[in-house]
Structures are given as C-alpha cells and as structure tokens.
Amino acid sequence: MGMTITEKILAAHVGRDRVRPGDIINAKVDVVLGNDVTAPVAIKEFEKLGAEGVFDKERIVLVPDHFTPNKDIKAAEQSKIVREFARKYGIVNYFEVGRMGIEHCLLPEAGLVLPGDLIIGADSHTCTYGAVGAFATGVGSTDMAAAMALGEAWFKVPETIKFIYKGKLNPWVTGKDLILYTIGDIGVSGALYKSMEFTGDVIKNLSMDARFTMANMAIEAGGKNGIFEPDEVCLEYVNRRAQRGFAIYSSDKNADYAQVIEYDVSNIEPQVAFPHLPENTRPISDVGEVKIDQAVIGSCTNGRIEDLRVAAEVLKGKTIHKNVRLIILPGTQEILLQAIREGLVEIFIRAGAAVSTPTCGPCLGGHMGILANGERAISTTNRNFVGRMGHPGSEVYLANPAVAAASAVRGRICSPEEVM
C-alpha cells in the first residue's frame, strides 16, 4: 500500500521509509510560528526549560498580528514580550508593525513556508500552509516552547480524507464557497484529526489565493491539516519567493484513504454560513432577508490581493448602505501596496469603507470592528461562534468577498448579481 502526501512528509521528517495512520512519532520541524497572543505563553515555558538558545534562529517566526497595532496596555505588554525575546535570541524572522502582516498571509508571501515542510504554529489556522504542499498544523503554546528549544514536535499520524472537486465553477463561486460547502456537508467534526487532501480538475485551476483560503478553513471541519499536492500553479508561486530549498511530495495512486468524497461544483452557489457554526451553510438563493450592521473583508482567510480585487469589482462606483460599516483589512503591507497601485483602495474609500493596516483585529473580537449586542456582521473571516466578533448577542455570517461587498451596498445579505 502506498502513502498519502501527508504521510510522506511526516515520514521524511522522522527519518523513516514510511509511517501509517495512528503511529505516534517525534518529528523534526522546519518552521515554528507564534503571534502576540500565543507566543508570550510559549516564551514563559521556554524560559522554564533553561535552554541556552533556540534550535534555529532562522526557523522561528514571530508575528504580532492579533491585537496590533496595540489596542491597549495589555496588548502592548504582550507585544513587548515577543519583541524582547526576538532580540535576546536573535530571531531573524520577527515582524514588527509596519513590516508585518497577518501571519498566514505573510509567511507564504515571504517564502518562509515551502512544499514538503513540516510546520507548526501556535495558532489553529497554521493549516493554511498546506496550500503550498506542506504539512502544517496548529499546536499549543507549550508544544511551541519545546519546538523552539529542540526543533522537534510529536504527532499522531492522521488518516486522510480525499476531496475531489469536479465540474465548472458558477459565477462568483470561489475557494471560500468550496470550503464552506464542504464543511456544510461533513460538519465541523467531519474531518476530526484527519488530513483533508483537496484534489480534482477544479482544484488544478484554482489560484493560490483560493487554495490558501481552503486550506485555512480545514480546521473548521476538525481537520489536523489541509493539503494540496504542488503543481505548476503552486511552483510558479513558490519559486519566486522561496528563501531555501524544498521537496515535492505527492500521494501514491494506491494510497489508503479513510474516505473519498466527490463534489460536482456546478451545483454550488455562493455560500453563507449562518450563526453560530461554519457548518450552518446555505446557498445565497436561500438566505432570505438578513439585514446587517457591519461587513468585514480581510483576515488570514480572505485578505489577499485576489480577494480585494473581487471586492473592488463589486464596489466600484457604488456607495455603502447608510446603515452599514464596511471594514477592509489587507493581509500584508505588500498586499496593501498592490491594492493602492491598482486603485483598489480609492474604490473602497470612495464607496465609504474604512481600510486598515494589516491586523487580525475584528476576526477574533480583538479590535477594529467589535460588534454590540444585537448587531449582525457579514464577514470573510473563518469563524462565527457565539461572541466571536464581540457581544455574545451579536451574529456573524461567513461569506466570500464578493457577497460581503454586495451585502454592504444593499444593507442586507445578497448576491453580487443584485448590485452589478
């Protein structure tokens, strides 16, 4: 029996010819990631270990992005802990405000996460990097601390579910809709501790931005990781950015899968996930009358240049509804610069949107867009749990950037076709 791409990567990092689902392994890691929320806890545990230094100054990445620019004194203290640790141990890849971005947009852009890598991050959406053919997964801060010292982490090898997407995408249907539809089908526990391998003709034609979106939300189905086999689209993206060598892995034709699920995307409309779980999805035609108070376009899920271009296409020459606040958060400084060069930022501002420096801010109810009791938001983020964006009495609806932009214009959740 052959191996899946996930199994091959794990085997390579443990120095074995093969691993099987259920094996407990201790593997070498290529990248260890932390942010301003999780890294301070890891740093405290790291100091308790009494380590003289980190395992590799170039393989630890620290990105203060959740409550930054600092929203209050506590946030400032958290960032200070990370900053001082980076200076003390000579961490090369520390990204300060003005040079940072939302971590899961920044690391691929900077060429720090590559095909064949084994990546852990003290953030659940570390699975984003599976888009480049890496095994990437979120861990706790104590695991991050040990990995910073030793360059290793333990894993149970996951089973793999293979998702095959066939057919032709309908207008305005994106990677966000494919992953929302998938989560709506299998549920938030449907891939619990499993690798989600995304394949099929549709996937081959998806942009890297769309692939990052899909891999990002594997965790919302309970997945251990989401992963794509590197192809020409992936390698064109990676080769322009890679700061070191990398390895290409692909699944064997006779690999053993826990399940194989096929979808005909021609049946998929733009999706909207209703409160309070990402699995509560409905096609846009079944949404009904849902008025909104706020729209958010951005985050590690949909803050890339392709997302901003789509939003600008919908918003050009239009005005945001008088009862709606539209907040747009480019994923990195480079994405923001590109949006300025292309005239997208002017379109957003003329429409009545607020454009922010890169930050996770409103996604986790941190700042830059907190909801009050009874308010509703449509968002391109990845979670819509109770109180996710603010008051427990608020509601968050998840959608793609085109739907979010159109809804901001109409003042209620609607299809982009309504405003075009």
**pTM across the whole model:** 0.94
Percent of the chain past pLDDT 90, that is, above it, reads 93
Write out the two tokens for 91.
């961490």
Tell me: pLDDT of 410 over 90: yes
Q: List the single range of 65-79, 177-191, 244-258, 299-313 with lowest mean pLDDT.
A: 65-79
What digits encode the pLDDT tens for the residues 342-366?
999 999 999 999 999 999 888 888 8
Mean pLDDT for the chain?
96
- H-run or E-run covering 393: none
> In CATH terms, is domain 271-418 a member of 1.10.150.120?
no
Write out the two tokens for 25.
């392994």
What pLDDT is stored for residue 32 in this prediction? 98
What digits encode the pLDDT tens for the residues 234-259?
999 999 999 899 999 999 999 999 99
What pLDDT is stored for residue 177 in this prediction? 98
What digits encode the pLDDT tens for the residues 214-236?
999 999 999 999 999 999 999 99
- DSSP secondary structure of 280-313: -EEEGGG----B-SEEEEEHHHH-SHHHHHHHHH
Asked whether the domain spanning 271-418 has the same topology as the one spanning 5-262, the reply is yes
Tell me: pLDDT of 50 over 90: no
Pairing of strands 376-379, 24-28: unpaired
Write out the two tokens for 292.
């909104």
Cis peptide leading into residue 276 (ω within 30°): yes
Cα–Cα distances (Å) from 293 to 309, 322, 378, in that order, read 23, 10, 8
Cα–Cα distances (Å) from 99 to 83, 86, 194, 337, 418, in that order, read 13, 15, 35, 12, 38
Cβ neighbours around 247 below 10 Å, total: 14
Q: 329 pLDDT band (50/70/90 cuts)?
A: very high
Domain ranges of the chain: 5-262, 271-418
Q: Which CATH superfamily is domain 5-262 in?
A: Aconitase, domain 3 (3.30.499.10)
Distance CA 370, CA 393 (A): 12
Do residues 82 and 111 make contact, with C-beta atoms less than 8 angstroms apart? no
Do residues 100 and 39 make contact, with C-beta atoms less than 8 angstroms apart? no
Q: Tell me how far apart the terminal alpha carbons of the chain are, to the nearest angstrom.
A: 52
